[in-house]
């Protein structure tokens, strides 16, 4: 190869490499135009009613970006396509960021709709039959939450030492009725009610599909770590806009909206200590 050509190609190599990798832009933390990612469910309304009014008074212009699954919102945040997201709990964030090598941080948790078990073809848990079919979330942390709900119903027994980030159907230690468990993407769970006996459905997807939490077979009692969180890039967790979001969430307006329009949501521990 011509020596001059080799030197030119060598000099251009970093450029070619960088073109294939999308990195989050270095954005100022005091910017006023924000994009916040959510998944289907009530959280867009919760933000619009309870958080955005306070932010808009401070000059923010905010756009909601909706995603259909639990994978894209974190990838979009890491790449800089959005500025924050609200759809997940802390164990999910920790596992996802570890698996994908992303640097994201939670800034506050919020009132959350609990996971619920809804009746499908079988209406009463006492009527569960041999080899009944049950749908549940396919990601480990939410799968374990669902298994524990079915344990409460007496369907199965679950390994008490199961690790949330590594949980699987192998953590079922007793299944006398040989129930067939079907792990599905969370967004597909409401539709599974037509073909399964019962389904454990994440609160946001249950509400998005028109299901009534008060008619669930059983509602989860949320652990603090399973209450949804607002997440930003790690480098911006102390930014002006992140602090303004936290302040808006802790405002009197937010508390009023939650009590008025989001009944049944389980509140984080800080909620009663706001004052």
Same domain, residue pair 92 and 142? no
Q: Is the pLDDT of residue 21 over 50?
A: no
**Facing residues of 180 across strands?**
133
Q: Which domain holds residue 243?
A: 33-112+225-262
Same domain, residue pair 68 and 108? yes
Distance of alpha carbon 103 from alpha carbon 124, whole angstroms:
44
Structural domain contains residue 15: no
Distance of alpha carbon 246 from alpha carbon 236, whole angstroms:
13
258: its two tokens: 């939650």
Same domain, residue pair 157 and 172? yes
Distance of alpha carbon 275 from alpha carbon 272, whole angstroms:
8
Same domain, residue pair 166 and 37? no
pLDDT value at residue 216: 94
pLDDT value at residue 264: 78
Same domain, residue pair 213 and 230? no
**CA 264 from centre of chain:** 18
pLDDT value at residue 25: 55
Same domain, residue pair 99 and 232? yes
Same domain, residue pair 154 and 187? yes
pLDDT of 208-261, one tens digit each?
Answer: 899 998 899 999 999 999 999 999 999 999 999 999 999 999 999 999 999 999
Those residues with Cβ within 8 angstroms of residue 27's Cβ, 6 or more apart along the chain or in another chain: 80, 83, 236
pLDDT value at residue 206: 92
pLDDT of 51-81, one tens digit each?
Answer: 999 999 999 999 999 998 899 999 999 999 9
Distance of alpha carbon 46 from alpha carbon 31, whole angstroms:
22
Percent of the chain at pLDDT > 70 equals 89
Structural domain contains residue 145: yes
pLDDT of 142-152, one tens digit each?
Answer: 999 999 999 99
Same domain, residue pair 124 and 201? yes
Q: Is the pLDDT of residue 22 over 60?
A: no
Which range is least confidently modeled, 42-46, 109-113, 203-207, 260-264?
260-264
- pLDDT tier at 27 (50, 70, 90 boundaries)? low
Same domain, residue pair 60 and 130? no
Distance of alpha carbon 218 from alpha carbon 150, whole angstroms:
9
Same domain, residue pair 122 and 184? yes
* CATH code, 199: 3.40.190.10
Q: What is the pTM of this model?
A: 0.76
Integer angstrom CA distances of residue 41 from 10, 19, 182, 205: 51, 36, 22, 5
Distance of alpha carbon 66 from alpha carbon 260, whole angstroms:
24
Question: How many domains does the chain divide into?
Answer: 2
- pLDDT tier at 274 (50, 70, 90 boundaries)? low
């Amino acid at each position: 190869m011509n020596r001059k050509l080799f030197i030119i190609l060598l000099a251009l190599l970093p450029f070619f490499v960088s073109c294939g990798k999308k990195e989050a832009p270095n954005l100022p933390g005091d910017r006023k135009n924000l994009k916040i990612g959510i998944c289907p469910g009530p959280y867009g309304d919760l933000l619009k009613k309870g958080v955005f009014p306070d932010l808009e008074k401070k000059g923010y212009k905010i756009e909601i970006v909706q995603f259909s699954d639990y994978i894209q919102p974190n990838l979009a945040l890491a790449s800089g396509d959005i500025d924050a997201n609200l759809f997940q709990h802390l164990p999910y964030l920790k596992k996802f960021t570890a698996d994908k090598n992303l640097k994201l941080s939670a800034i506050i948790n919020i009132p959350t709709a609990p996971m619920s078990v809804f009746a499908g073809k079988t209406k009463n848990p006492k009527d569960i039959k041999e080899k009944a079919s049950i749908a549940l979330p396919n990601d480990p942390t939410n799968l374990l939450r669902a298994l524990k709900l079915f344990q409460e119903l007496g369907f199965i027994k679950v390994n008490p030492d199961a690790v949330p980030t590594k949980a699987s159907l192998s953590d079922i230690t007793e299944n006398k009725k040989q129930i067939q468990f079907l792990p599905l993407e969370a967004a597909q769970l409401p539709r599974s009610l037509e073909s399964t006996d019962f389904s454990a459905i994440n609160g946001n997807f249950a509400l998005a599909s028109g299901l009534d939490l008060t008619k669930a077979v059983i509602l989860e009692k949320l652990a603090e770590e399973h209450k949804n969180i607002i997440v930003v890039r790690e480098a911006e967790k102390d930014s002006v806009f992140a602090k303004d979001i936290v302040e808006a969430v802790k405002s009197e307006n937010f508390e009023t909206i939650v009590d008025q329009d989001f009944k049944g949501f389980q509140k984080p521990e800080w909620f009663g200590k706001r004052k």
